[in-house]
């Protein structure tokens, strides 16, 4: 999903890990596990004990990650 494809009403909403994972077709464990979030550098917000996500920020992270992985595969001379 491209950032431009996000419904305008969802751009400013803070979403749960489950909502974000479903919207962006990501494994929910990437978002719900604190260690994995930190390792992967996923943008998120902590509100007391809650963790929430902004869809455009996570979509941009996902796009950057995909580009980096593609560049790494190209550098290594492998295909997906």
The residue-averaged pLDDT of 57-66 equals 94
Residue at 8 is within a domain: no
19, pLDDT greater than 80: yes
Specify the pLDDT at position 7.
64
Residue 42 — pLDDT band, cuts 50, 70, 90?
very high
CA 64 from centroid of its chain's CA atoms: 10
Residue at 6 is within a domain: no
Backbone angle region of 41, left / alpha / beta, with phi > 0 → left and psi within -120 to 50 → alpha: left
Check residues 2 and 66 and name the one with the higher pLDDT.
Answer: 66
Specify the pLDDT at position 80.
59
Specify the pLDDT at position 66.
87
Residue at 23 is within a domain: yes
User: Could you list the residue range(s) of the whole structural domain that residue 24 is in?
Assistant: 13-76
Specify the pLDDT at position 6.
62
Residue at 7 is within a domain: no
Residue at 2 is within a domain: no
The pTM is what? 0.77
């Amino acid at each position: 999903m491209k950032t431009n494809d996000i419904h305008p009403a969802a751009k400013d909403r803070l979403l749960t890990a489950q909502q974000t994972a479903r919207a962006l077709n990501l494994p929910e464990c990437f978002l719900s596990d604190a260690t994995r979030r930190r390792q992967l550098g996923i943008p998120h917000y902590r509100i007391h004990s809650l963790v929430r996500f902004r869809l455009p920020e996570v979509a941009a992270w996902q796009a950057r990650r995909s580009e980096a992985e593609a560049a790494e595969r190209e550098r290594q001379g492998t295909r997906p």
